[in-house]
Every structure is written in C-alpha cells, then in structure tokens.
Amino acid sequence: MIQTANEKLFGTDGMRGEAGSFPLDGQTIRIVGASLARHMRETLGRTPRFISGRDTRESGEWIESALHSGIVAADAQLASAGVITTPGVAFLTQHFDFDAGIVVSASHNPYQDNGIKIFSPSGKKIDAPMERAIEQDIFAGLEVPRTEAADLGRDAEDDYQTAYIDHLAAGFPRLELTGFNLVIDCANGAASLLAPRLFHGFGAEIVAINDEPDGRNINHDCGSLYLDKLREKVLQEKADFGVAFDGDADRALFVDEKGAVIDGDAALWILAQHLEWRGELSNKTVVATVMSNIGLEIALSSRGVKLDRTSVGDKYVLEELLRSGSELGGEQSGHIILPQKSLVGDGLMTTLFVLEAIRERNVSASEAVRGFTRFPQVLVNVKVREKRPFENVPEIAKAAKVIENELDGTGRLLLRYSGTENLARVMIEGQDQPAIENQANELAEIIRSNLA
C-alpha cells in the first residue's frame, strides 16, 4: 500500500494495526520513539522521561524494545512497567512525574494486532499536533540509528505494578469483600496477574478464568467480548458477581448472581444512583454516546438526572465530561470514565466502584440494576454508494419523521453513516420488537433505493 503524508496513522485510540506490518514494523516503531523524544525535548526544553507498559501479546515485548531503542537513540530517559493495564500506565505517568506514558496494546483486538497509545501526564492522549509531527517524521523517513537499549529500565517493574494496585485500593477504604464470591475473566490479558491480586486484597473469594496468557490467547473467546463462559462460571460457582475485562483492562462488563449481563449502560445506572446518594453527582448529568439504550435515559430521568449524548468513542465522552464538569460518563461497551478519579477508562477501578455501590446499599447485583429496563434495539446496515446528508434526501427525511412520530417518546431512531465503510446504519429502539424491526427494514429499503 502506498502511503502519503496526508494520511493519518493515529486514530481515536492511538496507532493500531497488524504487528510486523507498517506502521507496526520495527523501523517505523523506532521512528515513533525517536520522534516522540525529539519533539518532547523541543516542547519541554529539557530531556524528557517516559514510562511504557504492554499487554500480553507475543509481539508486545519486541515492539516495546523497538520503541525504547528509538527513545534511547534520541537521548531520552525511560522505564518500563512491564505487563500492565492501559490505565495503569496513565496513572504511573502522572504519579511518577513522567513526561509521557506509552502503552503497547491493541485492546480487544486479536493477538495478531497491536498498537501504540501515548498519554500525557494528565491522563489524556497526546494532542493532535504532536501526533501529526510524529506522522510527518514517519513519512519523511526519519533516520534513527539502531541502538541497543541494554538497560530497558525494567528493574522496577514490580514496584510500578504495586504502586498502581496500591493506588486503586487506597481509593476505596470502606470497601469490604470478605465472604463475597467473585469470578474474574482476565481475557488472558494485562489484568491476568493484577486483578486477582487487587480483589484478594479486599478479602474477596476469587475464581479467576482466562488468566494464563501465552501470547496468542488474549481476547480469544474470552473477556468482555465473549461473556458466555463468565456467565456459566458465575452460575456454576453460585458466585455473587462476575467481571470480564478486555485485553488492556480499560473496560469491564459484568454478570449478576443470576447470570444476567450488566453492560456499560446498566453500570452507569448503578453508579449514577451511587454518586447521587453520596452527593457526588452535582450537576445531575451523565454523559454517554448516541448508542446508549433509551432505557438508560428514561431510568435516569426518573431520578431527575439528564443524559447527555456524544458521538461514539470514549474520546468524545471525555471531552464532554470536561466541558460540562460532569462526574460520570461512559459507553455501552463498559468503558466508564469518572474524571474526578481518572481521565482514562479503568476496568479495575470501575469494578471497585460498582462493588462499592452494591455493598454500601447491601443489595445483590441484580437488585442494584432495578429501575433500568433495556429497550429492544434493532440495527440494520445498508451499503451505500455515497454519504449524502439524510435530511437532504426527501424520501428518507419523510420516512424518518414518520417513524419518530410513531415512537413519540417511547423509543428512538438514530440514523448515521459508518466512519470507516460505505454503510448507512439504521438503529431503532422501542417497546415492541416486531414493530421496530418492521420500521428499521422499511427505512433501510428507502435508503437503499435512494443511495445504493
């Protein structure tokens, strides 16, 4: 594939691709390390300090070493926290006064993929100008001498991991889990050692599954994308609660004691009630994306809490949280952000918050979700030849208006285009599954006849 200097390599969640192929080949990764160090030195006016961490993919160690080689070639300082979660690196960056934190991970992707995310000390990803500067160096073929980073700064890995676990535990001094039965699906990822260690510290009785990473089994039929095994184990063990992380543990999904899934929307409902009860939902607002179920909006409204919606992506949720001064936001996928605690979604922290909410109210997980009813949802994708604004196509605009009038506050229509494919997405939520299926299919056919 021919690359041009106008192409973007950094997306909303860093740089990602197949390990070993551009831009995740050794030479390009060394350029990323050297370029980051060079531009940070220019910005700071001094030698920058970096910390890195990785998940359990077999490519993680050599990618991290290539980054280190580039950083060392640019005369910067670095350390490694080893295998650790993405939010763990974000915390360490700020706590130990590093100038940036680098995560080698592809989150929920299969093992063949990997990625690079770079955080500022605030916990936010580096800004767009820095990303563009690194991309320009890549396309310009910045020359980086091969440097053996003999001392990769890995002698303190355990200290860094311990600091992160201690930080999480210190944030929940009242949480007591003695006698509480907890099943943890670690996705054979970064949480495999950290999660059992953390929850054992609160006295929980732990059953860990998918906690034996071999470099290739990360996210494979396990973790937050595949909840069946977690549900089975919770029911088999008669456990009180189950949690599943993704590969880098920046998100978490849950299963209650009856085997029902608690997704990100349900977790937001639990946490909103908890924060409101503690007087920590000051502006009575929760931030979610356009994909959050209307059932969440209705449940929050019953308590006088507003739901603000953003475009899909935790980046947009965080931007709105900071703009509005809200205390809670997240996505259906289980990526929850509590900006008073961290600007990065943290699956371990989210789990502790949910457990705190359940234990302080002295209710079961299934009881904690009461009041939230997930409405039936239909999603239909339509291939299109062009992405004209829907409101500019009279037949589509008219049909959409008819459906919105039929739903009349008891449901929701969302029309949008895919950001990466020539697809129109029709999403309808409502109380009657057959009715919304018919509405979605009829609207999809109108879109197809006008835009396909």
Interatomic CA distance for residues 29 and 35, integer angstroms:
10
Interatomic CA distance for residues 121 and 97, integer angstroms:
7
Q: Which residues contact 101 (CB under 8 A, 6 or more apart)?
A: 50, 51, 52, 53, 89, 90, 92, 93, 118, 119, 121
Interatomic CA distance for residues 45 and 348, integer angstroms:
36
Identify whether the C-beta of residue 190 lies closer than 8 Å to the C-beta of residue 113.
Answer: no
Count the alpha carbons within 13 Å of 361 in the hemisphere toward its beta carbon.
Answer: 22
Tokens for 15, please give them. 């740089």
Interatomic CA distance for residues 102 and 286, integer angstroms:
29
Q: Where are the alpha helices (DSSP H) in 278-346?
A: 294-301, 314-324
Interatomic CA distance for residues 85 and 350, integer angstroms:
13
| Polymer length of the chain | 452
My answer on whether omega of the bond before 23 falls inside 30° of 0, hence cis, is: yes
**Catalytic site positions:** 107
